[in-house]
């Protein structure tokens, strides 16, 4: 629904963020310009949850959640952004006018949710009561799934080509059933029912609404698993199977286990394994990271022990590491699924296996790389060099400087390579960003969150200064920023939006960016001389960009020298000019 910016701002101003948060967190106390309390979104003993009334935003430096007053109510009450706006509008006695288009759109979503809910009841009842579902009941029993668990997850069975008939009798149109993702028209003018003759796994969003279905055939046909397609209420890359069912425990434990299959997640939860979820027929991605970061501080990947499972774990690790999520990989015995292990050995043995077989990101990658590079060609100097460079590329995805050094130490030991050589190669590939930068800033406030500041890029540090000192906006333009998020925030800031308004705008464009932004703003760095800090970071950014371009030209020139490309005098001249400029700017050594 489109609500005018004026109305949104009126609702925001009528609901001060500190008063709203204090209704949920009575222990919220004022400390200087901020308010502080223990975070409501994860367990902690030392308060790391800050509210800044002046900027109208909150941020937890423990679990990284942040945003404006609407985002806080969204997360706390487990409702949508629109619902949080309506709730706060009602609280402030502000009327929201809905257009005919808004009402139609809201009505369409409500209708789809209604169709999916009724279809779930139909499938569920058929599984429990119909003679035609006997084979499905036997299958679930053989997989160790109890009646209680069937009810908890609302599992069902879809008889052959019956859902459209059921929906029409309920008064829905064929078009609505198509929009809900249950059917599609075939070439003959009839309809294909996605779940027909399959065990049905309803997919819930975090609010407990059914948004789609996954189906498993019990007949001898392909595909074995089939999901309903994406709709206006379902995006498979932004949801995880089983997350809603484990949310109460997850909010206490703050640990997630990502498995490959629906039944793995179901049986794991049945055995009391907290945080067991599965992806929805799609590779693990950044949207999944944003989702799990709301509820979890640590992630365990438990994929199959075959090549496909290791590749999936590798890809997921890269995304988790890039986003600063604590993670590890555990292994099941070969040719055994999680549900089989639990049914055979029980919960305690399963948890012991998770712990005993777990590997941190770099240990997992070293084992995988050794297998990938050495299994076919042996451990030659050439394959060893390739393997090491592959690992160095992985290490650069982690922005934590301490972990970078520890991981390099681990690679040196396990790959039998001199640590100093590795470190030098690492610095050649990706210069450490902050050594010279921190040397210029001895007067940092030690009470701010140091680790998080160190993990910020130079552009983020630069933007941090500008946001907290708006008079510097005129010194650069938005095209200066290469980082898309930084460029977008700078553009919003130049239009005169407050921090709370920027956070709100980001939440509508790309969910999760408001968390990043809140941390950026509330992580204000105290400099003894802001102007000097501004100039030094600006110079550092320019130097790095020149050096990056110079190194690219260096590669081109080497190819010319080796006769692998045609000589170009213009590139030599440009290379010399960039080298001279780099020296003029005071190029630093990492």
pLDDT in tens, 158-192: 999 999 999 999 999 999 999 999 999 988 888 99
Q: Is the pLDDT of residue 97 over 90?
A: no
For residue 93, the SS3 value is: coil
582 or 369, higher pLDDT: 369
Question: Of 249, 152, 168, nearest to 204 (Cα)?
Answer: 152
Residues 319-333 have pLDDT tens digits of 999 888 899 999 999
- How far is residue 527 from each of residues 441, 470, 519, measured CA to CA in Å? 7, 16, 18
Give the residues across from 227 on adjacent strands: 214
Q: Are 163 and 173 in contact (CB under 8 A)?
A: no
Poorest-confidence range of 116-120, 453-457, 475-479, 576-580? 453-457
**Per-residue confidence (pLDDT) for residue 444, from 0 to 100:** 38
Q: What is the mean pLDDT of residues 560-585?
A: 70
Handedness of CA 116, 224, 125, 131 (dihedral sign): positive
Q: pLDDT value at position 551?
A: 78
pTM for the structure as a whole: 0.64
Nearest Cα to 512, choosing from 207, 56, 75? 75
Two tokens, residue 416:
């039998």
**Token reading at 566:** 């045609």
Phi-psi region of 171 (alpha: psi -120 to 50; beta: other; left: phi over 0): left
Within a 10 A sphere around the Cβ of 473, how many other Cβ atoms? 15
* Average pLDDT in the chain: 85
- Give the residue, 423 or 579, on which the prediction is more confident: 423
Q: How far apart are CA 508 and CA 168, in angstroms?
A: 36
CA distances from 458 to 66, 292, 398, 433, 464 (A): 21, 27, 15, 7, 10
370-379 tens-digit pLDDT: 988 888 778 8
CA distance 524 to 520: 7
Distance CA 453, CA 114 (A): 46
Q: How confident is the model at residue 114 (pLDDT cuts 50, 70, 90)?
A: very high
**Stronger pLDDT, 152 or 433, i.e. the higher one:** 152
> Between 450 and 288, whose confidence is greater?
288
Give the number of C-alpha atoms closer than 13 A to the C-alpha of residue 336, restricted to the C-beta side.
Answer: 13
HSE value, Cβ hemisphere, 13 Å, CA-based, for 338: 28
Residues 26, 32, 34, 37: is their CA dihedral positive or negative? negative
Q: How confident is the model at residue 74 (pLDDT cuts 50, 70, 90)?
A: confident
Q: CA 443 to CA 529: how far, in whole Å?
A: 9
pLDDT at 511: 64
pLDDT for 432 beyond 50 = no
Distance CA 56, CA 159 (A): 53
Give the torsion sign (CA, 244, 248, 249, 253).
positive
Interval 133-145: pLDDT, tens: 999 999 999 999 9
Rounded mean pLDDT, 335-344: 94
- Give the end-to-end CA distance of the chain in Å, rounded to a whole number: 50
- The neighbour count for residue 533, using CB atoms within 10 Å, is 22
pLDDT over 80 (residue 440): no
Whether 466 shows a pLDDT value over 80: the answer reads yes
* Helix (H) or strand (E) run with residue 31 in it: strand 29-31
**What mean pLDDT do residues 396-421 have?**
91
Does residue 218 sit in helix, strand or coil?
A: coil
Torsion sign over Cα 59, 65, 71, 72: negative
Q: Which residues pair with residue 234 across a beta bridge? A: 231
Longest dimension (CA), the chain: 83
pLDDT in tens, 484-531: 889 999 988 888 788 888 888 887 777 678 888 888 887 766 677 788
Residue closest to 304 by CA, chosen among 258, 275, 337: 337
Question: Residues 236-249: pLDDT tens digits?
Answer: 888 999 999 998 88
Q: Which residue has the higher pLDDT, 300 or 503?
A: 300
Q: How many CB atoms sit inside 10 A of residue 199's CB?
A: 27
- Of the ranges 115-119, 439-443, 480-484, 523-527, which one carries the lowest mean pLDDT score? 439-443
What is the C-alpha to C-alpha distance for residues 264 and 207, in angstroms, rounded to an integer?
22
Helices (H), 170-326: 174-179, 243-253, 262-270, 286-293, 307-322
The mean-pLDDT minimum among 89-98, 134-143, 452-461 falls in 452-461
DSSP H or E segment with residue 300: strand 298-302
255-259 and 276-278 beta bridge pairing: parallel
82-86, 124-128, 190-194, 243-247: which has the minimum mean pLDDT? 82-86
Query: What is residue 588's predicted lDDT score, i.e. its pLDDT?
Result: 37
Measured CA angle at 387 (ends 384, 393), to 5 deg: 140
The tens digit of pLDDT for each residue in 3-56 reads 777 788 889 888 989 999 998 888 899 888 889 999 888 877 789 999 998 888
C-alpha pair distances (Å), 547 with each of 195, 323, 430, 462, 540: 56, 26, 11, 19, 10
Whether the predicted pLDDT of 230 surpasses 90: yes
Cα separation, 274 vs 283, in Å, equals 22
Q: What is the mean pLDDT of residues 187-200?
A: 93
* Ordered DSSP codes for 8-32: HHHHHHTS-HHHHHHHH-TT-EEET
Residue 358 tokens, joined: 């777990």
């Amino acid at each position: 629904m489109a609500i005018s910016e004026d109305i949104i701002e009126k609702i925001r101003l009528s609901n001060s963020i500190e008063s709203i948060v204090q209704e949920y967190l009575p222990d919220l106390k004022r400390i200087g310009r901020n308010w502080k309390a223990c975070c409501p979104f994860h367990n902690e003993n030392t308060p790391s949850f800050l509210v800044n009334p002046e900027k109208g935003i909150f941020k937890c430096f423990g679990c990284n959640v942040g945003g404006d007053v609407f985002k806080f109510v969204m997360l706390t009450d487990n409702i949508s952004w629109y619902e949080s706006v309506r709730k706060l509008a009602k609280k402030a006695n502000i009327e929201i006018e809905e257009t005919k288009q808004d009402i139609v759109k809201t009505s369409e979503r409500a209708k789809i949710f209604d169709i999916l809910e009724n279809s779930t009841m139909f499938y569920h009842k058929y599984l429990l009561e119909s003679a035609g579902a006997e084979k499905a009941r036997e299958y679930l029993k053989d997989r160790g799934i109890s009646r209680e668990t069937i009810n908890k997850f609302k599992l069902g069975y879809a008889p052959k080509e019956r859902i459209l008939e059921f929906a029409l009798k309920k008064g829905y149109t064929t078009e609505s059933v198509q929009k809900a993702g249950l059917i599609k028209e075939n070439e003959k003018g009839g309809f294909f029912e996605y779940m027909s003759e399959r065990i049905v796994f309803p997919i819930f969003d975090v609010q407990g609404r059914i948004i789609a279905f996954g189906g498993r055939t019990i007949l001898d046909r392909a595909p074995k698993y089939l999901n309903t397609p994406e709709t206006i209420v379902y995006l498979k890359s932004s949801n995880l199977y089983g997350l809603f069912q484990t949310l109460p425990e997850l909010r206490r434990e703050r640990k997630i286990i990502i498995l490959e299959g629906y039944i793995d997640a179901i049986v794991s939860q049945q055995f009391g394994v907290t945080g067991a979820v599965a992806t929805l027929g799609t590779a693990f991605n950044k949207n999944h990271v944003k989702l799990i970061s709301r509820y979890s501080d640590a992630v365990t990947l438990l994929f199959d022990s075959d090549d496909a499972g290791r590749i999936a774990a590798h890809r997921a690790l890269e995304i988790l590491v890039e986003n600063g999520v604590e993670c590890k990989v555990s292994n099941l015995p070969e040719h055994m699924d999680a549900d089989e292990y639990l049914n055979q050995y029980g919960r305690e043995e399963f948890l012991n296996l998770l712990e005993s077989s777990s590997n941190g990101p770099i240990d997992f990658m070293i084992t995988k790389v050794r297998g990938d590079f050495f299994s076919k060609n042996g451990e030659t100097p050439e394959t060893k060099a390739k393997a090491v460079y592959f690992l160095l590329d992985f290490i650069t995805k982690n922005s934590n400087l301490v972990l970078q050094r520890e991981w390099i130490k681990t690679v040196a030991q396990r790959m039998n390579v001199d640590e100093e050589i590795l470190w030098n190669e690492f610095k050649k590939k990706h210069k450490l960003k902050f050594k010279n930068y921190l040397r210029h800033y001895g007067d940092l406030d030690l009470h701010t969150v140091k680790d998080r500041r160190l993990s910020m890029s130079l552009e983020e540090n630069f933007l941090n200064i500008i946001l907290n000192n708006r008079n510097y906006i005129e010194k650069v333009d938005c095209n200066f920023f290469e980082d898309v998020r930084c460029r977008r925030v700078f553009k919003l800031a130049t239009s005169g939006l407050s921090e709370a308004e920027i956070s709100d705008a980001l939440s509508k464009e790309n969910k999760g960016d408001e968390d990043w932004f809140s941390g950026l703003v509330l992580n204000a760095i105290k400099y003894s001389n802001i102007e000097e800090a501004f100039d030094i970071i600006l110079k550092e950014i320019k130097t790095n960009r020149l050096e990056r371009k110079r190194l690219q030209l260096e590669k081109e020139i080497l190819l010319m020298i080796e006769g692998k490309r045609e000589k170009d005098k213009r590139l030599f001249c440009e290379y010399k000019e960039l080298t001279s400029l780099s020296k003029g700017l005071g190029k630093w050594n990492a």
